[in-house]
Copies of this chain bind each other. A is one copy, B any other.
Amino acid sequence: MSQIKVGIVGYGNLGKGVEKAIRQNPDLQLEAIFTRREPQGVEASVPVVHIGEAEKYIGKIDVMILCGGSATDLPEQGPALAKLFNTVDSFDTHARIPEYFAQVDAVAVAAGHVSVISTGWDPGLFSLNRMLAEAILPEGKEYTFWGRGVSQGHSDAIRRVEGVKNGVQYTIPVEQAVAQVRAGENPELTTRQKHLRECFVVAEEGADKARIEKEIKEMPNYFSDYDTTVNFISEEELKANHSAMPHGGTVLRSGRTGENSTQIIEFGLKLDSNPEFTASVLVAYARAVAKLSAQGDKGAKTVFDIPFGLLSPKSAEQLRKELL
């Protein structure tokens, strides 16, 4: 197979991560980056093109990697681009996945394209592991712990509080709960028993810190069900120590077989950079999309539909010899 030609749609943290990941994969070549912004203002290693011009790249790009957000970008861009190209995306609004799948599938089947939706690490690798573990250990209990990592949604929620200039929130798994699951105890865990929330907040000058702390800790949905700590720091400290985007987590299944054997399957990620890792997953799935499309396949797919062998640049023979 000759080099797979890739386009990136959306040039935020995720799009930039994809650009870097493609450099680590010599069988892929980045052709262009597509943006809704004024292309002149965007610096990148390849041509930057307005998204409205994407159609001109039909035949020049094998797979478009969609790096927009799930709230507003992907519901529109996913179906629109599946009409023109093979695509990969990280649509992660769990409740709307069936609807999004159906929309993309209809367009992709009609156009003869392959579209992998909702990949990354959660949904994505975590979903794969939840599914695998359930299929192998049907009698069992599944636990997902997220973190230690930055939650964008919770950081945004902090920043909406009056008197807050800036803020970052870390989701932290409760060590004791993880240890109980690993020990095969199958605990029943409340929301509060599974995760802690740690906030680093820069207050506006003169703001009432006690009121801010109270408002954060009592915020429904985001913080009230958790043990939350609020640390006030300076803007400089926030920039110096809390600009990275680490994340990760653990999917555990504790099951029983035979008379009473406890069997534990665990999958974990510890990521210095959440967007770079998600990007690396998208790039591996872009390779699978190109291979499936070359085989004449079409329609929307999820991680559950893709054999792992297609994610690798190695041949099936090589994989059997080197990695089985």
A binding-site residues for B, Cβ under 8 Å: 17, 20-21, 24-25, 94, 97-98, 101, 118, 123, 125, 127-132, 134-139, 182, 184, 248, 257-258, 261-273, 276-277, 279-281, 284, 287, 302-309, 311-313, 316-317, 319-321, 323-324
Contact = CB atoms under 8 A, between A and B. Distances in A.
Contact of A303 (B94, B125, B308): B308
A272 B256 CA distance: 9
Nearest to A323: B131
Contacts of A320: 97-98, 101, 302, 304
User: A-side binding surface: helix, strand, loop or mixed?
Assistant: helix
Contact of A309 (B97, B131, B287): B131
11 contacts: A24-B257, A134-B323, A257-B273, A257-B276, A261-B277, A263-B270, A263-B272, A266-B268, A268-B268, A302-B319, A304-B312
A283 to B, nearest CB: 8
Number of this chain's copies in the assembly equals 2
Given A261-B272, A270-B264, A273-B257, A321 B280 contact: no
Given A131-B312, A131-B319, A307-B306, A182 B270 contact: yes
Contact of A135 (B118, B264, B284): B284
Given A134-B312, A320-B302, A323-B130, A261 B281 contact: no
Contacts of A284: 135-136
Contacts of A123: 324
A272 to B, nearest CB: 4
B321 A304 contact: no
A123 B311 CA distance: 19
